[in-house]
Amino acid sequence: MLAVTALAAAPAFADEPPPPDWTTIPGSTATVGGLTVSWQSASSVFAPWEGVEMLDEMLVVKPEVINSTAATVYVGYGTDFTTQGSIDPLWLPSGWGAFSDVADGITDLFWDELAPGESLETAGGWSNGMPTWSGHTITLFNLSEQPIDGATPTASPILSFTTPGRFVPFDLSSGDLGQVSQTVGERLTVVSGEGGPDLFSGLAGTVTASGLPAGEQLELWIAPNLNYAYFQILGGALPVSAQKVGTKTVAGDGTLTANFALPLGLETDVSYQMVAGVRGERYWPAGTWDDFVIREAPNLTEAVTPELPVGSGPQQVDLTDDAPGAVPVLVDLPEGTTAGTTSAVSSATGPIPAGFRITTDPPVYVHINSTATLGGEAEVCLGYDPLGETPSLFHYESATDTWDDITERYFVDVDAEPDRAYVCGLTSTFSPFIAAIPTFDFDGFFSPVSMDAANIAKPGQAIPVKFSLGGDQGLDVVESARFVIEGTDSTPEGELIPTTTAGGSGLNYHAGSDTYTYVWKTSKSWSLKTGQFLLEMSDGTTHEFDVTFKK
């Protein structure tokens, strides 16, 4: 919404768009002190001020003011930047918060002078209309004098128009034009491996944000040369170049962790931004703020495959790349597959793990894509070190937003130097895959342990430590249980004490409630001690909670 930057940084006009077909909004006309005021609206697929074509038609509005008095009058425009319904005077630099210094040069855009008998239409004011910001109010004011040379006229509100939709506040407390996107909404951050994200066509990955309204289902869209703040200024209508890349519901604590899949064929070395919101409402409470650049895929290996007629049998495609960090890849395309190009890219960027533990640092995801249409299920095999842990093969399915364990078989290529082991699985879709160690579906800890409030215990008492692993996983699931007493000046790293169970009860599982219980026997000597209970599982994961013992 910051026209300060928008008008200064807006691209040059495209071909002049057709003029909007204006109609008066019913019930929006008022006559005050000889001024007849109304709001007019139109639908347009071209953004106001710039003329860029939008993906959808958007509502634009403009005021019409007719001066029927014998005196010159002045009208000003205001909107609610930071607090819904609290109107900021755009004709004064002070209405722009910390941007007041740079706003001084554009405040003339937000007031008009009308001679006796003159109207805004004849004076040429707002001929292309104003963008309508979702849930924001635009108010017209009658000004007592021209707001020039430091004058602060008395302002009387005449008529307001509130755009349907949900309000996204602006933060005008920082006047940094270099970080103008940070004035609106919340920041989406691309989750990546070491060294920043590898963003390329065909990539699947994850973005995170916080401070969003809980329970809202938000769509993820990307577009080239999109500035989040400027996009909001123009009303939040997506340009025709925008593409949807994901959908996710905001968690109860206001956080968003959303997976996305970049389409094939994106332009390289071009700045993109991602926005999260609701297209139909032009409501966008979050964006990436900083541009990200789509680059050529690292260690890309591809193979052109012919048509595979039924009866021809499957065809193996070797997409192995010996570049550092690349994973050996074999793909068996089924008979009936159409001709196309199949590719593989090893990258540290991918959707956040779910159901597995990555053994490499940084993680290595294999993004496989193909322009061919599969005639059935393909077999994908990823190589791994046969001297390390034996992994399973996981595939991210973007249609269901899940990681699925598709492991079918293992084999060793003894002709490779050194020997190379493979884990294989069947899939009907591609991108991405990872060879990793499965983990339990841990949920807990349950009452009497709290994960939200402080845990206060009596030293020497037995504490039932309850959790779930998503079903009966046997009784060999706990590798170790320890209590780490908080550090002191003499022992800054703390004291690690192996735990014992009450009465040798060990670990038990209750099928009816799908609950494991480990009865932790605490020591009477831990009076006034604070620390963490650490439970290490046999899948290599660790779970903990804090506890303080009373006197």
Percent of the chain with pLDDT over 70: 93
On the question of pLDDT at 276 being above 60, the answer is yes
In a domain, 178, yes or no: no
Angle at 480 between CA 468 and CA 450, to 5 degrees: 45
Question: Of 131, 162, 193, which residue constitutes the final position of a domain?
Answer: 162
**309 and 285 fall within a common domain:** no
Question: Are 433 and 450 contained in the same domain?
Answer: no
Q: How confident is the model at residue 38 (pLDDT cuts 50, 70, 90)?
A: very high
Cβ atoms 395, 435 nearer than 8 A: no
Task: Answer with the one of 438, 459, 488 that is the final residue of a domain.
Answer: 438
Residue 227: predicted pLDDT: 85
pTM: 0.82
Do 107 and 121 share a domain, yes or no?
Answer: yes
CA distance 461 to 38: 74
Q: Which has the closest alpha carbon to 63: 131, 120, 116?
A: 120
Give yes or no: residues 41 and 156 share one domain. yes
340: pLDDT strictly greater than 90: yes
What torsion do the CA atoms of 337, 340, 346, 349 make, to the nearest 10 degrees?
-90
Q: Give the 3-state secondary structure percentages of the chain, helix then strand then coil, rounded to 5.
A: 10, 45, 50
Does some domain include residue 167? no
* pLDDT digits 0-9 by tens, 427-452: 999 989 999 999 999 999 999 999 98
Asked whether residue 425 falls in the same domain as residue 312, the answer is yes
CB atoms within 10 A of CB 457: 19
The reported pLDDT for the residue numbered 51 is 66
Asked whether residue 177 is domain-assigned, the answer is no
How does residue 508 score in pLDDT terms, banded at 50, 70 and 90? very high
Range list of H helices, 23-174: 100-103, 120-123
Tell me the pLDDT tens digit for each residue of 514-541: 999 999 999 999 999 999 999 999 998 9
CB contact set of 283 (below 8 Å; sequence gap of 6+): 134, 135, 165, 166, 168, 236, 277
Same domain, 14 and 31: yes
Residues 8 and 150 in one domain: yes
Q: Is residue 373 part of a domain?
A: yes
- Let me know whether 434 and 455 are in one domain: no
The verdict on residue 349 lying in a domain is yes
pLDDT tens profile 111-167: 999 999 999 988 887 877 887 888 999 999 999 999 998 889 999 999 999 988 899
Residues 379 and 480 in one domain: no
State the chain's mean pLDDT as an integer: 89
What CATH code is carried by the domain that includes residue 227? Answer: 2.60.40.10
Kindly state whether residues 134 and 147 are assigned to the same domain: yes
Does 485 score more than 80 pLDDT?
Answer: yes
Please check whether residues 158 and 34 belong to one and the same domain. yes
Predicted confidence (pLDDT) at residue 395 exceeds the cutoff of 70: yes
- CA 12/CA 229 separation, integer angstroms: 18
Domain assignment of residue 545, given as a range: 443-549
User: What local confidence, expressed as pLDDT, does residue 154 receive?
Assistant: 95
387, 415, 438 - which closes a domain: 438
Tell me what pLDDT residue 193 has: 59
Rg, Å, the chain Cα set: 31
Residue 391, domain CATH: 2.60.220
